[in-house]
Structure 1
C-alpha cells in the first residue's frame, strides 16, 4: 500500500520561483531595504508552507522572527499574535523580546474602533522598540491569514514600514483568494504602498503533481493517473495530498484502477468538506450557501439578493465555500459540492429558490439561458413571461448548436401554450437534430394542430427534410403527402409560389414528384431569393431550390447558385438539413470541395443523427470522387455514430453507400451481406434512399455475374426514380450501369433506348461526368469504330471530371474494346491506365479485372494492393506516417532526405487516395480504413 504523504516533508515541489522570490525579499530586507510581501492564493495552495520556509531561512541568517496566525477583529489582535510567536530558537531570548514589545500594547478592547489620536502614542512606542531590535539584528514579521487582521495591526504595520527606511525589516502576510478583509480600508492603504509586493501562488503544474505522486508511492505512476489527479484536484497541494491518502487507504496505487477512482474520491472529499463547513456555520451562512448552490455562481450581490442576507454575510459564505473546495477557480460551484449544499434542504425550498433566482436574474437583465436554467427546475405550468424566456434561451442554444438543450427549453415552454403549432414545429425541428424518430410524432402533432393549408404544407416540408431517411409508417407518409399536395392548390404569387416550390422539392425527396408534375413548375430566381445571414427560413428555401434544380437536372448553374447562397447565409442556429441538402446539389454538380465544406459545417457540433446524415453525404461525395478508402472510413464512422443511439431502420442510406463502396473494393459478397440485413425503404422510406439501395443491390448482383437479377434491380431503381420525378442523370445512374451490363451480355439492342435517354438527360445537365457516362454507355453498346470513338470520348470527358472510378471504367472499356478489335498495343495502354487509376482510388475490383485483361493483352503489372494502406506506395506511407506524427513538410523532407516539393507531391497523392483534404484528416482516414478492414474480416460470410 502506498505510504501517506507528509505535507512538510522534503523540498516544496513546483515552487522554485516562489521560493526564490521570497528569498530575494528576505535578503533585501536584511540589507536594510524594508519591505512587505503578500502571498495570495486559494485555501490549501501552500501559503503557510512557504511562510515556514521563509521563517526557517530567516532564523538561519540570525533574524528575529515573530510569527502569528489566526488573528481576530479585536484591536491589536494581530500584533498580540505576532509578539506571542517570539522565541522560536531554543535558548534564545526572543521570547523576552516579544514580551517587551507586547508591553507597549494597551489592554485588550474587543469593540473599540480605531482612533488615530489614541493609537498615536502606542504606534510610536512600538516603533521605537522595534527599531532598537533592528539595530542589533534583522526583524521578520510573519502574519498568516492577514485578511482577518484588525485595523489597529494593519495601520501599525503601514506606520512601521513607512518609517523603516534603511532598517533590516521584512513583513510577510497571506491572504486567501476572495476573502473580504476585516478592515478593508486599512488593507487597501497598506497594500497600495510601493514597498508592498504581491506574490500570487498558482496551482501546481503537472510535473509538481507527478513529484507528489512519486513521494506517495514508489511505484511508477501512469501518465493517465497524473492527468486525472491534476484534473480532479486542480493542482491544489492540500487537496492532492488528501486524495492520495484516501486512495492509499483503499489499497490503490498510481495505476489505471487508481485513476478510475480519483473522480469519485475527489467528489466525495469535496462533498464531505462542504458538509463539515455547513454543520459549523450559522443559519444565515447556510441560507447563503443554498443560494450559491442554486445560482451556481459565487457572485455575492446575487447571492445576497436571493438568500435575503447582508452582502458581507454573502462574502463570508463565498470565502468559506472557497476554503472547503466547493468553488472552481472561476467562482462556479463544483457539481459534487452543489449536491452537498442542497442535500440538507427540502425540494420545495429549492424550487422556491429557483423561481426567485429566475425572477432576480431576469430583472437584472441576465442572458435568457441563465434564467431558463432555473425555470427548468420550477414545477407547474410556466407563466407567460417564463415561456418567452425559455424560447429566447432555445434560440441561443440553437445558435450554439446545442439542439438537445433547445428542445428541452421548448418542451417546457410548450406547457404554457400546448395548442401552438408553430412552437411545436420548432420543437420537432430541434429534436430532429438528435433523435429523428422522437421528432416524427411531434411533427404529426403540429400538423394536426395547424388549420391553414399553407401552415400544414410548411410543417410537412420541414418534416420531410428534417427526417430524411427516417422510415415512416405508410399512414404517416400519406399524411405528409396529403399536406404537401393540398398546398399545390394555393396562390401562385409571392410566398404562395415560393411555398409551392418547396413543396415540390419535398415531394421529389419523398418519391411523389411525378404525381405532382414537378417539372412544370417554373424556377424562381433573382431578387426574390436574396437571403440574410442566419435567416433560417430563407436559408432553407435556398437549399430546397438548389436540391430541386439538381434533382430535376435542368440547370446546373441555378443549382450551384442557390446552394452557394444557402451555405453562405447559414448561421450557427441553422439546422443541419439545409446544409446537407445544399451539399447534395453541389456534389451532383461536381463542386466537390464546396460540398465537403458544407457537410463539415453541418456535422460540426450537431447531434448523432445530423452527423450520420452528414457523414453519409461525405461518403457519397468521396465515393463519387473515387476516394474509395476515404468513403469507407466516412460511412463506417457515420454508421457507428448512430448505431448505438437510434434505430437500425434509419441506416438504410448509409448501408447502401457502404455496400456500393464494398462492391468497388471487390468485396461484393460483403456488400450483399450488408444489404441483406438492411431495412428495405419501401413505402415508409424516401425515394432518394430507395434509389441508392436498389442501385447498390444491382451493382452487387452484377459483380457476382448475375446479369438478369442485376438488370431487374437496376430497372426497379429507374422505376422509382421516374415515379419520384428525379431526372438528374448522375444521382443514381441506373441507365448507364444497365447499358454496361447489356453490352457485356451481348444484348446491346435492348440498351439503345436507355443510352439515348441518358444522353438526353446528360446534355441537359451538362457536367463532364454526365456527358462522360452518356458516351461510355453509348460506346459500350455501339459496334465498330463508332463504339471506339464514343469510348475514347468518354475517357476524355471523365478524365476531366472528379469521377476517377468512372474514368478508370471508361479506360477499361476502351482497352477491352481495342483488344477485341485486334489492337493489343492500344489496349495495353488503356488497360494499364485503368489499372493504375482504379488501384490508386481504391476500386480494387476494377483494378484486378483491368490487370488480368492487361496480362491477357501481353502486358505486365505487379499485384494490386488489397488494403487502404496498400493503396499508398512505400514513400507515400512514410510521408503520411510522419505527417500523422505531427512533423511539418520541412521536417519530413529532412528526415527522408528529399525536397519539400517531393513531400508536397506525396501528400497530394495521399490526400487524393484517402479522400481527405487536410493534414488533420490523415490519422482518421488511415485508422478508419484499418478498423473497416478488421470489421470486414470479422463479418460472417453470406449464407449459401
Structure 2
C-alpha cells in the first residue's frame, strides 16, 4: 500500500471492485480480459488499479505509467511494461523477436510494423503467463506515446486464452480511438452518502457540519478532492469555515492545494521535486545524480518525502499526476531549463542518447545547431525502430533550434514526412506549411509537393489528391523520371479509388500525363504504369497487352520486399483483364505479404480482393470467413472501413434485407469520402442482387448507374454484364445489344476463357435460335475451365431458362437441375430459388431447399481448424491470424468437441465431412 487514500478511496466502489474481482477470477480460470477504467483526474482510477493489484494473489503484476513528457518517445510506455519480461524474448518466433528487439533498440534492423510489434508483445505476455497468470496495469494511458497505446490496445483486442489481464486507466477528456471496442468501466463521482463517509475516514479532528457539506459540495464526488481539500485548511477553517475560497473546478482546486503545500518547502526541496517531475523514467539513481549536479543536499529528499507529495524509494512516484503538474507550473522558466540541463548532463550519452538530446533541447535558450544535430540523429534512430511519432517530435524540436533558413526548411519537411507516416495528418500539414515558407532546394520543393498530395489522399480529401500528385510528378520528371513514374502510379491508384468523384483532374488526365513520360520497363511498377496509362487513354485494345506484360512481371519477379501498392494495383489489373488465375495468385501474395510484414492496416484491402474471388468462385463460406476476418482486423487496427465485402456477400446470397441495411449506412459516407470505387462496387452488387431475384427493373437501374463510368474499369465492365441480362429480360433488346458491343471491347482484348465465356453468354441473351443455343454451349464450355463457377452456374441457369421458353423442357431440366444444385452448394438462396421455379415450370417436382446448413464453428474457429488441418503449427497459425499461440490452442480446444473429434490428427477428415 503506497498511499493512505488507496484504502480510504474505496467508499462507493462496490460495482467497480466486483467487476475487477470477476476479471481476476476469469483469468485465474485460464481466460484473458482487457478492461478500461475511464474517469476524470482524481476520481479513483489509480486506487482501483491498486485494488486490483492487491487482490491478484498468484498473479505476476507488471505496470506502466503514461508520462506527458514522454508522449513523443516511441515505445516508451511499452518498454516500461515489457522491460521486466525481456528474459523471455528468445521464446518468440524469429520475426517477432526481431521486431521487438528493433523497437526497443536492443538490435538494429528494418523499422518494424507496429502490428508486428503488437503480435510480439501479445506472444511475450502469453509466454510469461505460462508460469503464472499475468496482470498488466497501465495508468494514465492518455499520456502513453501513440505507438505504445496502439500496440497495447491491439493486444487487448486479441487476448483470448492466455491467462492475461490488461487493465488501463484513462481520462475521459482524452480522445483515444485506439481503446474503442475494449470493455469500459466509467468511474463516476461518489454519491453524497459515500462522499461523507470518505471525508470522515480521513479527518483527524472535529469538523463543522456546514464545512463538511461545503467540502462535499465542492468536491463534486471526487475522492481525491475529498482527501486533499481538507489538508489545506487550518483548524479554525475546519471548525467554522471562515476563509474557505469560493467554489473552483476540481482540477484547479487540487492543483492549488498542491501548490499551497509546495510554497513553504525549502528551495532545494522544490528543485529536487522539479527534477523528479522532469525526469520521466522514475529512475532514482538518475535523480540523485541530477541532485548532485544541481547542488541539492540530502536533507532536501527528507523534506520532499515528509511533504507526502512524493515517494523516493526504488523508483520515484508522485502522489498523483496533478502533483507533477503543480510542481512544473510553480517553477519559473529559467529554473526549468537549469534542471533539464542537469538531467542532460547525468544522462548517459551512449545508453540513452535520445532522452539526453530531449533534455538538452528543453534546456536550450535559443538556436543551437549542436543540440539540433543531436535531435536529428535521435530522429534517425527512432525511425529505425519504427518510432515515427518520436522521429517527428525530435525533428520538430530541431526546427525550433535551427538558425539557417534552408536547414530549418529541410528539417521541417522531414518532420512533416514523419508525422504523416505516423498518421498525424493535421500536424504534418502544419509542419509542411512551415517548411514551404523557407527556401527549399529543388528536390525538397518537389518532395514537399508530393507530400502535400499524399496527405490529401490519406486524410480522405481524395478529390484534392490527384491534382496535387500531378503537380508533384511534373516537378519530379525534370529531377528524376523514376520518382516521377512512382508518383504517377500513386496518382493512378488515387484515381481508381476516387473514380467518378474526381474534379478537373481524374484518371484520364493522370494517364495522359504519365503517357508522356519516356517509357521504361526497368521495374514491374513501370510496366504497370504503362499498361494502365494506355488502357485509360486508348482503350483495352491498345493497352491490354501492356497490362498482361505487367502481370507477368508481377507474377514472376522475385521482389524481397514486395511493394504492397503494386500488389493492390496488380490485383486490380488482373480483374480488369478477366484473369482469374492471376487474381488468385496476386491477391494471395498480397495477404501473405501484409501478414508477414505485420502490416495490419494494409490487410483489409488485401482480404477484400480475395472476398471477390471467392464469391466469383461460388465459395461463399470462404468469402464469409474473410468478411468476418476483415471486420476483426479493422477493429484490431482501430480503423473504420466500409463493409464492401459484406455488401457483395449479401448480394450473391440474395439477402436483400442485409444488403439494404448495409448499403443505406454506406452510400452517403461513400459519397462524402469521395470513394468512387466503393460506389461502383455497391451499384454492381445491387445489380447482381436484383437480377438474382428476378427484379429486372431495379437491376437495370443499378447496372446502368454502375456502367456509366467506364474508367471504373472492371466494376463498370461487370455492371455491363448485369445490364445485358436485366435489359434482355425487360424487353430492352437494343440496350442489351449495345452493351454487348461495349463489353466486347474488354473481353476480346483479354481473350481468357472467363472473358470469352461471359461474352458468349451475354451475346446469347440477345440472340435467337441455333445461334443462341451455340453461344450458351460455348459459354458453359469456356466457364467450366475457370475458377468462376458462380458464372458457370448462371450460364446453366440462363441456358435452361432459354430452353424452357423455346419449348425444350427436357433439355432445360438438365441445365436447370445443374444450376439449382450448384447454387444450393454455393449458398446463393435467391439464384437457387430462381432455378427451382424454372424447374417447376418444366413440370419437375422440386422441394424448396435453403442453402446448406452451417456447421457450429465460428468464422475464427473455422479459419484455425482449416490451417491446423493443413499442418500449420500453433505459432504459425497465430502469426497468420494475429493471435497468440495459446489462443490458437484455446480455440482448437473448442473446435474438437464441436466436430466430435479428440485430436488434431482427425481435423482433415472431420472438416471434409462437413464440406
Aligned to 1:480: 468
Native 8 Å contact 2:864 2:892 kept in 1: no
What do the CA deviations read for 1:410-450 (whole angstroms, capped 9, x no partner)?
A: 55445457873784376257436635577667778877879
What do the CA deviations read for 1:225-255 (whole angstroms, capped 9, x no partner)?
A: x9989999xxxxxxxxxxxxx999869xxxx
Q: Identify the match of residue 594 of structure 1 among 586, 589, 596.
A: 589
Q: Identify the match of residue 845 of structure 1 among 827, 830, 850.
A: 830
Aligned to 2:521: 525
1:291 aligns with 2:275: yes
Aligned to 1:903: 907
Q: Identify the match of residue 569 of structure 1 among 561, 566, 578.
A: 561
Post-superposition offset of 1:394: 4.7
2:368 and 2:294 map into 1 onto residues whose CA distance is: 30
Q: 1:374 to 1:837 in 2, by over 3 A?
A: farther
What do the CA deviations read for 1:576-617 (whole angstroms, capped 9, x no partner)?
A: 867765775688733232222345568746xxxxx4x75355
Native 8 Å contact 1:619 1:634 kept in 2: no
Aligned to 1:623: 612
Q: Identify the match of residue 423 of structure 2 among 434, 437, 441.
A: 434
Post-superposition offset of 1:352: 1.9
Q: 1:616 to 1:444 in 2, by over 3 A?
A: farther
Aligned to 1:74: none
1:459 and 1:550 map into 2 onto residues whose CA distance is: 30
Aligned to 2:664: 673
Q: Identify the match of residue 547 of structure 2 among 539, 545, 555.
A: 555
Aligned to 2:722: 737
1:450 and 1:700 map into 2 onto residues whose CA distance is: 57
Matches within 5 A, 1:860-939: 860-865=846-851, 872-873=854-855, 880=862, 886=889, 896-898=899-901, 903-904=907-908, 907=911
Native 8 Å contact 2:692 2:831 kept in 1: no
TM-score with structure 2 setting the length: 0.53
Q: 1:741 to 1:641 in 2, by over 3 A?
A: farther
The SS at the match of 1:569 is coil
Aligned to 1:149: none
Q: 1:492 to 1:387 in 2, by over 3 A?
A: closer
2:825 and 2:391 map into 1 onto residues whose CA distance is: 45
Post-superposition offset of 1:547: 8.0
Q: 1:483 to 1:821 in 2, by over 3 A?
A: same
The SS at the match of 1:678 is helix
Aligned to 2:341: 356
Q: 1:877 to 1:478 in 2, by over 3 A?
A: closer
2:740 and 2:288 map into 1 onto residues whose CA distance is: 80
Higher relative contact order (CA 8 A, sep 6+): 2
The SS at the match of 1:590 is helix
2:460 and 2:912 map into 1 onto residues whose CA distance is: 40
Matches within 5 A, 1:316-335: none
Q: 1:563 to 1:301 in 2, by over 3 A?
A: farther
1:859 and 1:358 map into 2 onto residues whose CA distance is: 88
Native 8 Å contact 2:417 2:428 kept in 1: yes
1:813 aligns with 2:801: no
Post-superposition offset of 1:364: 0.9
Aligned to 1:308: 292
1:777 aligns with 2:762: yes
Aligned to 1:164: none
Aligned to 2:154: none
1:805 and 1:440 map into 2 onto residues whose CA distance is: 47
Native 8 Å contact 1:440 1:463 kept in 2: yes
Native 8 Å contact 2:644 2:681 kept in 1: yes
1:881 and 1:379 map into 2 onto residues whose CA distance is: 56
Native 8 Å contact 2:284 2:316 kept in 1: no
TM-score with structure 1 setting the length: 0.51
The SS at the match of 1:364 is coil
Aligned to 1:126: none
Post-superposition offset of 1:889: 6.2
1:560 and 1:361 map into 2 onto residues whose CA distance is: 59
Instruction: Give the alignment's Cα RMSD to 1 decimal.
Output: 6.4
Q: 1:715 to 1:522 in 2, by over 3 A?
A: farther
Q: 1:470 to 1:494 in 2, by over 3 A?
A: closer
1:633 aligns with 2:621: no
Matches within 5 A, 1:401-420: 403-415=388-400, 420=409
Post-superposition offset of 1:465: 5.2
Native 8 Å contact 1:582 1:598 kept in 2: no
Matches within 5 A, 1:493-508: none
Native 8 Å contact 1:453 1:486 kept in 2: no
The SS at the match of 2:669 is coil
The SS at the match of 1:733 is helix
Post-superposition offset of 1:372: 6.2
Matches within 5 A, 1:191-202: none
2:864 and 2:750 map into 1 onto residues whose CA distance is: 43
1:692 and 1:501 map into 2 onto residues whose CA distance is: 22
Q: 1:892 to 1:503 in 2, by over 3 A?
A: closer
2:475 and 2:741 map into 1 onto residues whose CA distance is: 36
2:574 and 2:465 map into 1 onto residues whose CA distance is: 28
1:450 and 1:791 map into 2 onto residues whose CA distance is: 68
Q: 1:827 to 1:250 in 2, by over 3 A?
A: farther
Q: 1:584 to 1:550 in 2, by over 3 A?
A: farther
Native 8 Å contact 1:772 1:797 kept in 2: yes
Native 8 Å contact 1:368 1:390 kept in 2: no
1:808 and 1:567 map into 2 onto residues whose CA distance is: 38
Aligned to 1:41: none
**Larger of the two Rg values belongs to structure:** 1
1:794 and 1:328 map into 2 onto residues whose CA distance is: 81
Post-superposition offset of 1:472: 3.6
1:351 and 1:775 map into 2 onto residues whose CA distance is: 80
How many residue pairs get aligned? The number is: 636
Q: 1:249 to 1:891 in 2, by over 3 A?
A: same
Q: 1:362 to 1:760 in 2, by over 3 A?
A: farther
Aligned to 1:36: none
2:290 and 2:729 map into 1 onto residues whose CA distance is: 81
Structure 1 alignment gaps of length 5 or more:
5-44, 47-201, 210-222, 233-245, 252-262, 530-539, 606-610, 913-944
Native 8 Å contact 1:384 1:416 kept in 2: yes
Q: 1:645 to 1:892 in 2, by over 3 A?
A: closer
1:395 and 1:784 map into 2 onto residues whose CA distance is: 73
Post-superposition offset of 1:864: 2.0
What do the CA deviations read for 1:711-757 (whole angstroms, capped 9, x no partner)?
A: 565455445333xxx65x46862332222323333444544454454
Post-superposition offset of 1:775: 4.5
Structure 2 alignment gaps of length 5 or more:
1-5, 9-52, 55-128, 137-159, 170-193, 200-221, 229-253, 500-505, 537-542, 577-582, 866-886
What do the CA deviations read for 1:456-492 (whole angstroms, capped 9, x no partner)?
A: 6655555555654765496x45852661574597489
Matches within 5 A, 1:827-838: 827-828=812-813, 830-831=815-816, 834-835=819-820, 837-838=822-823
